[in-house]
Amino acid sequence: MAALASVQQAITRYVLPTILAFGNLGNLLTIAIYCQQRYRTNSCSIYLIAVSCFSLMGANWAIVPTVYALNHYDMVSNSIILCRIRGYIIHTSSMCFRYTLILVCADRYAFCSTRASIRAFSRPMIAYRSIVIVTIFWATVSVHLLIWESIENGRCGVYGLYGQIFSFYIAVCTGLIPIFSMITFGLLLLKNLPRSRLLVHPANSINQLNRRDVSFIKLVLIEIIIYIICTLTYPAMTIYIQVTSYMQSSKSVERRQIESFINYITMSLLLYLNYNTTFYVHLMTSKTFRNEVIQLILRCMGKAERNFETQQNIMHTGSTRQRRQL
């Protein structure tokens, strides 16, 4: 069973930093692309910017201290203040991430609706207001972690009666509500899609806009599947850990190690992976998005090259002046 601990340590040392690096790159590119003027008029783009921001915050606060603690002083597990602040930020950002994904699903359903009153909800102003409401709501609801999260046996976490209540709260708010909501909106979206106007005039002047919105729909449907895969076992494992916590003294060493490893995969690796997949899913499903990424990279390279040439010209002009003065 010592092999499980070694595998877990190797995942923390090598896999998590890789996920974080690629995730940060993808989320930053997503923000850079959808912050462009022509995209900010699309409500789905606004939601995706918010999703990327929440992903950056949650993933970095979750992964960086964990990896740092492997070979350095574990500040989180030795400081109750840092423990509670980290738990609060991770929980708030992760909940905002999940419920903004629900808003993305609802937005695409509204966009494809045949009823004008429902399509009216797919607007940038609605997106801005919804993101603000979600952020304020979860920033307020998550305050309990600043009060009751604690450190026991050198580990920062939730324990006792609060831990048991927290496990059922997580099961409902992380598992039941998001998964049920996403599946519902996904099914409604699939029902409305054949009747939507997106595919009616494929050769008209707004074909490019139609392709972009179709790519958003593909992204939403795939994200629903990924979210379910990465999250479905998380609430169940949380409840199991809390329900069987009173049996710790009767559990064998092997059983505790196996449970610890499964808990790590379920509540760490899969969740962190879920934070960092949106960009790459969109990259694989949308040709328009791939072209946007290529154009953005080329523009950045062109600006860097022009800046380098300008710097070289300034240096050359300065050296020429010095020679003339001499």
Element (H, E) at 152: strand 150-152
Residue 325 confidence (pLDDT): 60
Residue 166 and residue 243 in one domain: yes
Domain identity same for 312 and 281: no
Prediction pTM value:
0.85
On whether both 53 and 70 belong to a single domain, the answer is yes
Same domain for 325 and 212: no
pLDDT, block means (10 residues), the chain with 326 residues: 80 92 93 87 91 94 92 89 94 95 92 86 93 97 94 87 88 90 90 62 43 79 88 81 70 78 85 87 84 85 63 60 59
Full 3-state SS string of 62-106? HHHHHHHHHHCCCCHHHCHHHHHHHHHHHHHHHHHHHHHHHHHHH
Report the distance separating Cα 319 and Cα 311, nearest Å.
12
The answer on 295 and 281 residing in a single domain is: no
Tokens of 1: 């069973």
Handedness of CA 97, 98, 99, 105 (dihedral sign): positive
* Residues 231, 320 within the same domain: no
Q: Which residues 6+ apart lie within 8 Å of 36 measured at CB?
A: none
State whether 141 and 83 are in the same domain. yes
The whole-angstrom separation of Cα 289 and Cα 274 is: 20
Distance CA 285, CA 221 (A): 11
65 and 207 co-located in one domain: yes
Q: Is residue 314 domain-shared with residue 265, that is, in the same domain?
A: no
Q: What is the pLDDT of residue 148?
A: 92
* Unique residue bearing structure tokens 């179709």: 214
CATH number of the domain residue 46 falls in: 1.20.1070.10
For residue 208, what pLDDT is reported?
41
Q: Is the same domain home to 104 and 160?
A: yes
Q: What is the pLDDT of residue 239?
A: 78
Closest CA to 31 of 54, 60, 53: 53
187 and 326 assigned to the same domain: no
| Cα 300 off chain centre by | 25
What is the domain extent for residue 164?
Answer: 2-285
- The pLDDT of residue 311 is 64
Give me the pLDDT at residue 167, please: 86
- Whether 77 and 83 have beta carbons less than 8 Å apart is answered as yes
Same structural domain, 211 and 310 = no
- Structural domain tally of the chain? 2
